[in-house]
């Protein structure tokens, strides 16, 4: 296992008077958080493993995400070829040699993690690069997460016009992700895109170009059998969609892009070990929960702004928005998650954050090092902007000043902030961050006496949408 540089959590700027928390309040959370951690590790994992006698209050119990990184890695070490991870890597190689574009169809947790991985770990303009510049890895596009007519049509038109000739550059494929196959947005998109793909490659070869990630049984599983898909992967039972990023749901698209999924899983496992052994005050998961929970219950701070200070991390923020909203937005409780990209959004939201209602905490996500060499402002004969005096300053230095300046402004006004530091925007950092936030969400759910799994509210809209459409058909 490669050495993982840890991400760190600094809550210092949440201890602001009189609108933040106190050290006494923070220390007072220790016993409660230790009890909730023990419930997750000793009770939930044991119940999940047995699958028996699960209390009604804990149903559904989708605790399978917790130790999934370790399970997948252990199987890979014992049997590389036949293991799930081995098969994912083999399929990624096959698909990458076959096509130059992959359309990922899925909604919610079935695509958000994969998109976050692409935008964080791949080059910023991956899809605009030549195949050689991409190291032979396909471009990737995401649909089936909406029913927007014009965007769907535009992607189909692009695929048709840009997929000409022989070889992989003339081909495109589909990864479809849906546990049941019954989610309408994804199912409708699959029918439309698969029809276009059939016209391109012929019905007999569809099985090579469509890779489903689905349940053992269900509508998509039946379709995959009917088509005879060469490769198919299972969404594991006991793992909810928004907790599935370290299953084939996230791993397969990431592997197709050439992302180091082994390193990512090792990083997630390292976060598990950290969570299970570190004490409050040195435990990123518990500290994050303690600060945000105390601000909500004691100060009414029920909006959590995830301020990401890198464009590469914006989709990771959107992934967390879904995780927190679906997990804790129940029983008329739950903080509202909001992702902001800075310094961009300092010019749109900062006024309200600085002087608006005191109902927000800023949880910054900061990257310590950049992939590229620092870009300096430079001198110019046109100095109307008066930047020649800053000619030697670099973009990372400007970003650093923006982060520190924003935190100082909030601190001066008694507005709480915290800082999550990532060593880099890469697989290791994102593996830790994803696992930290999933663990934190479940830990807070247990702290609130709430089941963080399941999303009954989402199921209601699905029921009514299908009902309205089918009533229209039969009218």
Q: Using a pLDDT cut of 90, give the percent of the chain over it.
A: 92
Q: What is the largest CA-CA distance in the chain?
A: 76
Residue 346 structural domain: 8-50+280-449
- pLDDT over 70 at 164, yes or no: yes
Same domain for 103 and 20? no
| Count of domains for the chain | 2
Position 466 in a domain = no
- Tens of pLDDT, residue by residue over 107-142, are 999 999 999 999 999 999 999 999 999 999 999 999
pTM of the model: 0.96
Beta sheet of 139-143, edge-to-edge order: 139-143, 101-105, 172-177, 210-214, 233-234
Beta sheet of 8-10, edge-to-edge order: 8-10, 417-422, 360-367, 303-308, 336-341
Q: Tell me the CATH number at 357.
A: 3.40.50.10490
Q: Which residues are tagged catalytic?
A: 326, 347, 462
Q: Given the structure tokens 């696992």, which residue do they identify?
A: 435
Helix runs in 300-340, H state only: 314-328
Same domain for 307 and 385? yes
> What gap in Å lies between CA 410 and CA 20, rounded to an integer?
11
- E strands, 242-379, where? 303-308, 336-341, 360-367
Position 459 in a domain = no
- Tens of pLDDT, residue by residue over 386-420, are 999 999 999 999 999 999 999 999 999 999 999 99
- pLDDT over 80 at 1, yes or no: no
Q: Over the chain, what is the mean pLDDT?
A: 96
Same domain for 329 and 211? no
Same domain for 294 and 443? yes
- Tens of pLDDT, residue by residue over 294-305, are 999 999 999 999
Instruction: Write down the pLDDT at residue 90.
Output: 98
Position 110 in a domain = yes
């Amino acid at each position: 296992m490669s050495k993982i540089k840890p991400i760190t959590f600094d809550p210092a700027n949440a201890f602001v008077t009189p609108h933040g928390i106190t050290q006494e309040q923070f220390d007072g959370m220790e016993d409660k958080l230790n009890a909730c951690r023990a419930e997750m590790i000793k009770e939930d994992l044991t119940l999940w493993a047995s699958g028996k006698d699960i209390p009604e209050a804990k149903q559904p119990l989708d605790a399978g995400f917790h130790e999934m990184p370790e399970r997948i890695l252990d199987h890979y070490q014992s049997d590389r070829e036949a293991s799930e991870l081995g098969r994912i890597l083999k399929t990624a190689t096959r698909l990458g040699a076959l096509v130059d574009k992959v359309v990922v169809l899925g909604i919610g947790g079935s695509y958000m993690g994969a998109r976050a991985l692409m935008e964080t770990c791949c080059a910023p303009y991956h899809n605009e690069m030549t195949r050689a510049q991409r190291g032979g890895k396909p471009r990737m596009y995401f649909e089936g997460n909406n029913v927007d007519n014009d965007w769907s049509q535009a992607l189909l038109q692009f695929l048709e016009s840009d997929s000409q000739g022989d070889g992989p550059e003339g081909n495109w494929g589909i990864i479809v992700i849906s546990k049941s196959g019954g989610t309408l947005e994804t199912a409708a998109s699959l029918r439309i895109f698969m029809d276009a793909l059939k016209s391109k490659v012929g019905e007999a070869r569809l099985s090579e170009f469509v890779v489903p990630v689905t349940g053992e049984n269900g509508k998509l599983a039946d379709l995959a059998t009917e088509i005879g898909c060469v490769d198919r992967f299972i969404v594991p039972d006991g793992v909810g969609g928004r907790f599935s990023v370290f299953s084939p749901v996230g791993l397969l698209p990431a592997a197709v892009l050439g992302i180091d999924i082994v390193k990512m899983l090792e990083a997630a496992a390292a976060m598990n070990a950290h969570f299970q052994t570190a004490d409050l005050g040195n435990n990123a998961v518990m500290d994050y929960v303690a600060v945000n929970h105390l601000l909500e219950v004691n100060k009414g701070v029920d909006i959590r702004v995830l301020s990401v200070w890198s464009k590469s991390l914006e989709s990771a923020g959107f992934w967390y928005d879904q995780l927190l909203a679906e997990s804790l937005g129940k029983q008329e409780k739950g903080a509202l998650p909001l992702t902001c990209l800075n310094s961009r959004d300092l010019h749109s939201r900062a006024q309200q954050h600085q002087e608006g209602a005191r109902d927000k905490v800023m949880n910054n996500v900061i990257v310590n090092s950049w992939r590229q060499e620092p870009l300096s402002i430079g001198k110019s004969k046109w100095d109307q902007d008066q930047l020649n005096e800053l000619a030697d300053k670099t973009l990372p230095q400007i970003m650093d000043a923006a982060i520190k300046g924003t935190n100082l402004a909030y601190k001066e006004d008694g507005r709480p902030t915290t800082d999550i530091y990532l060593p880099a925007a890469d697989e290791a950092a994102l593996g830790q961050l994803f696992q930290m936030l999933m663990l934190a969400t479940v830990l807070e759910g247990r702290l609130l006496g709430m089941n963080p799994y399941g999303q009954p509210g989402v199921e209601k809209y699905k029921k009514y949408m299908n009902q309205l459409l089918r009533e229209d058909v039969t009218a």
